[in-house]
């Protein structure tokens, strides 16, 4: 297919595709999806080899958010029944992080719900970063706390944060349809503040909210212009009790095409499969590893994910290897631009993915989950194209509970 050959050539040169080419990827048929994966996989392997970076979420503060983001289980007035708790103490957060690091994660993503941190909140998070880094030499820490005020990014950097996450989520033209309590411009401003402070910036999207192909291309092109080191791709999980509960728009093939388009537009950037992979990619998750070079291990912010051991088995079975703590995530030209590099040992590492207040923290749309069906490997007979509500379960373990986390 001439289109795919052209996109591979451009990806190897870090050349931006045209909007028409990006739209054409999304318009390919299910019959061509393996060809699309194979082409984008060449670009992924050129820049990242067969390494897969593991990231681990710690939800520092759950629920109780004043924002009205339509996709979020933590939103104002939410009736989703998620865990609700205020700030974890530094030792509690460090203990939660340790579980993910023991499972192979090299980055810890610290997320807190809310519009944005107060100066006192920044002090809290600074204490947590210190506790984690004192106990885990070389760990990368990303903060995901919402909209930043002037000077806060610098304070987080001084406290030892390597990265900051804040997603754009969708196109500027449709942003007002999903959130009214802050603007698209507010999000762009926070990403720019992180950049300016010397933090490795991370920003991504949520697919499946009823957006058009044009919206998806718009937001990915906007991300390319912002130039984050990491782009998390979340797939909406329509949780009961949220305004988007009926939006089941994705198929595994559609998710693969979206990831391929992101890879072609952002060829040398860490692309992370974030929330929703278990629910929407399902048994095709291993194919997605040929497109993305980063995933989350274990559970998400408010919902359960695939068992951590199953994640590791999937990576190995697909012929990939877990990225080591001493390996630099980004290609050399990007790592040098970061003064050590996104994902470098103890430096500006790869980042996380989504404003925690939106129920999507650190690159991970919090509504992702696999639930008991994944943990027990029980087969569930659901007709093709039907909503997979059986794969969504509210998190009842890990941070904020007395039960061991899934890592």
Annotated catalytic residue, options 44, 51, 72, 374: 72
Write out the two tokens for 259. 């990831």
311 in helix, strand or coil?
A: helix
Concerning whether 65 is annotated as a catalytic residue, the answer is: yes
Residue at token pair 């629910």: 279
Concerning whether 69 is annotated as a catalytic residue, the answer is: yes
Concerning whether 202 is annotated as a catalytic residue, the answer is: yes
Annotated catalytic residue, options 44, 51, 69, 257: 69
Write out the two tokens for 256. 């693969």
Annotated catalytic residue, options 44, 107, 142, 342: 142
325 in helix, strand or coil?
A: coil
- Distance (Å, rounded) from C-alpha 391 to C-alpha 130? 36
Dihedral angle sign, alpha carbons of residues 58, 63, 68, 73:
positive
- Torsion angle in degrees (nearest 10) through CA of 273, 274, 276, 279: 50
Annotated catalytic residue, options 272, 277, 334, 388: 272
Concerning whether 19 is annotated as a catalytic residue, the answer is: no
CA distances from 312 to 54, 273, 279, 306, 319 (A): 9, 14, 18, 10, 11
- Contact, 310 vs 298, CB < 8 A? no
Annotated catalytic residue, options 75, 144, 157, 202: 202
Concerning whether 266 is annotated as a catalytic residue, the answer is: no
Write out the two tokens for 26. 């999304």
Concerning whether 352 is annotated as a catalytic residue, the answer is: no
If you write DSSP's letter for every residue of 177-214 in order, what string do you get? Answer: HH-SSS-HHHHHHHHHHHHHTTPEEE--EEE-SS--HH
- Distance (Å, rounded) from C-alpha 97 to C-alpha 277? 22
**Nearest CA among 146, 267, 250 for reference residue 207:** 250
Concerning whether 362 is annotated as a catalytic residue, the answer is: no
Annotated catalytic residue, options 44, 75, 107, 109: 109
**237, burial (CB in 10 Å: exposed 0-12, middle 13-18, buried 19+):** buried
Annotated catalytic residue, options 44, 51, 65, 144: 65
- Contact, 109 vs 125, CB < 8 A? no
State the catalytic residues: 65, 69, 72, 109, 142, 202, 272
């Amino acid at each position: 297919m001439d289109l795919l050959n052209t996109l591979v050539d451009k990806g190897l040169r870090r050349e931006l595709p045209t909007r028409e080419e990006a739209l054409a990827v999304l318009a390919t048929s299910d019959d061509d999806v393996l060809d699309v994966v194979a082409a984008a996989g060449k670009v992924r392997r050129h820049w990242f080899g067969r390494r897969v970076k593991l990231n681990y979420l710690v939800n520092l503060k759950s629920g109780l958010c004043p924002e009205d983001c339509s996709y979020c289980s933590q939103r104002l007035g939410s009736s989703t029944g998620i865990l609700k708790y205020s700030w974890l103490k530094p030792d509690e957060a460090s203990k939660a992080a340790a579980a993910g690091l023991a499972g192979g994660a090299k980055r810890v993503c610290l997320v807190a719900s809310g519009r944005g941190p107060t100066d006192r909140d920044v002090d809290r998070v600074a204490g947590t970063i210190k506790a984690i880094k004192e106990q885990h030499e070389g760990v990368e820490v990303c903060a995901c706390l919402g909209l930043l005020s002037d000077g806060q990014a610098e304070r987080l950097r001084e406290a030892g944060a390597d990265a900051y996450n804040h997603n754009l989520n969708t196109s500027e033209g449709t942003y007002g349809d999903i959130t009214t309590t802050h603007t698209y411009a507010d999000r762009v401003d926070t990403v720019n503040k992180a950049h300016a402070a010397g933090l490795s910036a991370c920003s991504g999207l949520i697919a499946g909210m009823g957006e058009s192909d044009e919206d998806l291309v718009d937001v990915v092109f906007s991300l390319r212009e912002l130039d984050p080191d990491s782009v998390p791709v979340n797939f909406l999980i329509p949780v009961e009790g949220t305004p988007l509960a009926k939006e089941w728009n994705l198929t595994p093939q559609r998710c693969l095409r979206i990831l391929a388009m992101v890879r072609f537009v952002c060829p040398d950037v860490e692309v992370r499969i974030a929330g929703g992979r278990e629910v929407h990619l399902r048994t095709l998750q291993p194919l997605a590893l040929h497109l993305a070079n980063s995933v989350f291990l274990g559970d998400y912010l408010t919902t359960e994910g695939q068992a951590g051991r199953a994640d590791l088995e999937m990576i190995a079975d697909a012929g990939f290897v877990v990225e080591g703590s001493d390996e630099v995530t980004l290609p050399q030209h990007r790592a040098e631009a970061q003064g050590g590099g996104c994902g470098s040992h103890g430096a500006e590492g790869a980042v996380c993915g989504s404003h925690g207040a939106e129920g999507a923290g650190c690159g991970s749309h919090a509504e992702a989950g696999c639930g008991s069906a994944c943990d027990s490997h029980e087969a569930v007979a659901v007709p093709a194209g039907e909503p997979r509500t059986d794969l969504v379960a509210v998190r009842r373990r890990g941070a904020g509970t007395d039960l061991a986390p899934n890592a």
